[in-house]
């Protein structure tokens, strides 16, 4: 047995470090790359309203539930369910989480690799003077290439593995604490520039004026999936992080702060992107390429845009990194604690096997573009299936577990730190996890399947 197994478990060493690491997991490409194009494709303002409802009514309770399970058991998701429900099939949720982590990294690393390419393009000043069409051609050309997207993906995976190898405190806390606030500042500057573009106000109305006729089964499912994805919930990342949270921290407050910060960043990203989309006449249906086309266009219009774009893409890559480490950690913790592997071997094995499949996702617009199902390539399939299916299904079972299986006394004990903080919200919380959240998730699926209305 590895000697590390005998040492006390790692934990976050300060409150700020803990929030920063958890927010670092939540805030990533989901907010800055995925939220804008998904919101754009699904009706803008109406999507935002549904999204916010899901964050508040389902997301925060699921996040609290994951923290409860993780901190109570001090285990990875799979081991956590085995410990709380011995001999029962609940461990399958943990198992599904490990699988979801694997699948998310397959497409996530591809996009993270794109951010590295765009750091490089910033340095060589490649955006200068390009029209929107030219920037689109540039992005498409890169993504269709057979080497570069793959190479960057592998580089990114290696970076992630390297940090995960350094362990929890030294690896994760140290970097996020400094860099996330800088990213936030840069996004706010981008917002100011975007808001002062001529013709930008149309973009704001698009994001903030809901047109509810745009809502259908697909948009509602996309909003639910995006809420889960952006908050890092539904697959046990936050069970794992919960296991590193110290006994004296307030789990509900942590969930609330992290969720609000995450939502705030997504909205700020939207406020930068949509005014620019309208001001520059960029095709809002640019899908996965949207922010990689719009952002360079904004940088062009800024004094010091060269330095700015360089810094921005570096920090975006860092934001992606603090997310990928939290996802890889789920797979590694499972290998170490359940399969009794040494941490180093576990990390390398996970990174290599994810990259091996990830190569096909990275080549989804290149040589693997013929590998499609229902008209979607491998990247799009893993993206859709994990975000819109695996995460909400995982979340469904997590709230059912807390609401119906785990003794309410245990949940109350964790949320109140053994009675030392008041939890007047507890009955409401229990009502949500028992009824509201699982029923809402089930209804979203039924609605999407067209079982009622549409
Ligand atoms: N939330 C992260 C983002 O927005 C991605 C992420 C990290 C994630 N850990 C996760 C998504 C766990 C789902 C589950 O970029």
In angstroms, the CA 45 to CA 203 distance is 10
Ligand 1 atom showing the smallest separation from residue 235 Cα = 14
Query: Which band of pLDDT confidence, cut at 50, 70 and 90, is reported for residue 171?
Result: low
In angstroms, the CA 8 to CA 135 distance is 51
Q: For 63-117, write each residue's pLDDT tens digit.
A: 999 999 999 999 989 999 999 999 999 999 999 999 999 999 999 999 999 999 9
DSSP element (H, E) containing 48: helix 45-54
In angstroms, the CA 30 to CA 35 distance is 6
- Summarize the confidence of residues 53-62 as an average pLDDT: 98
Give the Å distance between the CA of 196 and the centre of ligand 1.
Answer: 31
Taking the CA of residue 170 as centre, how many other CA atoms within 13 Å lie in the half-sphere pointing to its CB? 6
For residue 102, what are the β-bridge partners? none
Angstrom CA distances, 105 to 97, 139, 266, 386, 412, stand at 12, 21, 20, 10, 34
The preferred substitution site among 232, 258, 393 for testing ligand 1, maximizing ligand atoms within 8 Å of CB, is 232
In angstroms, the CA 363 to CA 374 distance is 18
Give the Å distance between the CA of 60 and the centre of ligand 1.
Answer: 14
In angstroms, the CA 261 to CA 247 distance is 23
Query: Which band of pLDDT confidence, cut at 50, 70 and 90, is reported for residue 167?
Result: low
Give the Å distance between the CA of 24 and the centre of ligand 1.
Answer: 9
Query: Which band of pLDDT confidence, cut at 50, 70 and 90, is reported for residue 16?
Result: confident
In angstroms, the CA 193 to CA 377 distance is 35
Least confident residue range of 44-53, 277-286, 410-419: 277-286
In angstroms, the CA 408 to CA 397 distance is 16
- The per-residue pLDDT of the chain, averaged, comes to 92
Give the Å distance between the CA of 229 and the centre of ligand 1.
Answer: 5
Query: Which band of pLDDT confidence, cut at 50, 70 and 90, is reported for residue 358?
Result: very high
DSSP three-state, residue 275: helix
DSSP three-state, residue 147: coil
How much of the chain, in percent, has pLDDT values that exceed 70? 95
Give the Å distance between the CA of 232 and the centre of ligand 1.
Answer: 4
What DSSP line would sit under 103-138, residue for residue? HHHHHHHHHHHHHHHHHHHHHTTTTTT--HHHHHHH
Q: For 230-280, write each residue's pLDDT tens digit.
A: 999 999 999 988 988 999 999 999 999 999 999 999 999 999 999 999 999
The pLDDT score that the predictor gives to residue 4 is 40
- Summarize the confidence of residues 391-398 as an average pLDDT: 98
The pLDDT score that the predictor gives to residue 7 is 47
Place of tokens 């350094």: 166
Per-residue pLDDT at 452 exceeds 70: no
Which residues have any ligand 1 atom within 6 Å of their CB?
25-26, 28-31, 104, 229-230, 232, 235, 237, 323, 326-327, 391
pTM of the model: 0.94
The pLDDT score that the predictor gives to residue 87 is 95
Nearest CA to ligand 1 atom 4: 30
In angstroms, the CA 356 to CA 352 distance is 6
Question: Helix crossing, 174-195 with 251-279: angle to 10°?
Answer: 40
Q: For 177-209, write each residue's pLDDT tens digit.
A: 778 888 999 999 999 999 999 999 999 999 999
The pLDDT score that the predictor gives to residue 2 is 39
Instruction: List all residues 6 or more positions away from 411 whose beta carbon is below 8 Å from its beta carbon.
Output: 68, 402, 426, 430
The CA R_g of the chain, rounded to the nearest whole Å, is 21
Ligand 1 atom showing the smallest separation from residue 320 Cα = 15
Per-residue pLDDT at 1 exceeds 50: no
The pLDDT score that the predictor gives to residue 293 is 96
Ligand 1 atom showing the smallest separation from residue 326 Cα = 9
- Summarize the confidence of residues 418-435 as an average pLDDT: 97
In angstroms, the CA 454 to CA 452 distance is 7
């Amino acid at each position: 047995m590895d000697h590390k197994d005998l040492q006390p478990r790692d934990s976050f060493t300060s409150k700020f470090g803990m929030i920063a690491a958890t927010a670092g997991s939540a805030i990533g490409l989901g907010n800055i790359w995925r939220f804008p194009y998904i919101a754009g494709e699904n009706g803008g303002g109406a999507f935002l309203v549904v999204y916010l409802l899901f964050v508040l009514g389902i997301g925060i309770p699921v996040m609290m539930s994951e923290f409860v399970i993780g901190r109570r058991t001090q285990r990875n998701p799979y081991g956590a369910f085995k410990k709380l429900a011995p001999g029962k099939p609940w461990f399958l949720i943990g198992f599904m989480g490990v699988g979801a982590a694997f699948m998310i990294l397959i497409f996530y690393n591809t996009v993270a690799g794109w951010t590295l390419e765009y750091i490089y393009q910033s340095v060589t000043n490649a955006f200068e003077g390009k029209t929107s069409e030219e920037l689109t051609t540039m992005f498409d050309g890169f993504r269709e290439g057979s080497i570069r997207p793959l190479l960057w993906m592998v580089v990114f995976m290696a970076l992630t593995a390297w940090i995960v190898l350094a362990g929890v405190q030294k690896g994760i806390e140290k970097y996020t604490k400094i860099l996330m606030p800088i990213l936030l500042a840069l996004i706010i500057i981008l917002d100011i520039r975007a808001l002062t573009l001529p013709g930008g106000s149309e973009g704001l109305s698009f994001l903030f004026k809901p047109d509810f006729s745009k809502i259908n089964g697909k948009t509602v499912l996309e909003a639910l999936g995006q809420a889960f994805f952006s908050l890092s919930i539904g697959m046990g990342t936050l069970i794992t992080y919960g296991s590193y949270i110290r006994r004296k921290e307030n789990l509900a407050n942590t969930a609330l702060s992290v969720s609000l910060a995450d939502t705030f960043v997504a909205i700020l990203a939207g406020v930068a992107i949509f005014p620019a989309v309208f001001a520059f006449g960029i095709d809002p249906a640019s899908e996965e390429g949207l922010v990689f086309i719009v952002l360079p266009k904004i940088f062009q219009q800024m004094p010091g845009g060269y330095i700015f774009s360089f810094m921005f893409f570096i920090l975006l890559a860092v934001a992606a990194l603090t997310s990928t480490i939290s996802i890889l950690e789920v797979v590694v913790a499972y290998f170490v604690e359940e399969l009794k592997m040494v941490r180093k071997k576990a990390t390398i094995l996970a990174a290599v096997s994810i990259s091996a499949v990830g190569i096909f996702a990275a080549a989804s617009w290149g040589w693997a573009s013929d590998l499609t199902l229902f008209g979607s390539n491998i990247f799009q399939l893993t993206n859709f299936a994990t975000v819109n299916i695996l995460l909400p299904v995982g979340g469904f079972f997590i709230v059912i577990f807390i609401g119906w299986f785990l003794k309410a006394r245990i949940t109350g004990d964790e949320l109140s730190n053994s009675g030392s903080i008041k939890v007047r919200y507890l009955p409401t919380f229990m009502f949500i996890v028992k009824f509201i959240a699982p029923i809402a998730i089930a209804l979203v699926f039924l609605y999407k399947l067209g079982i009622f209305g549409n």
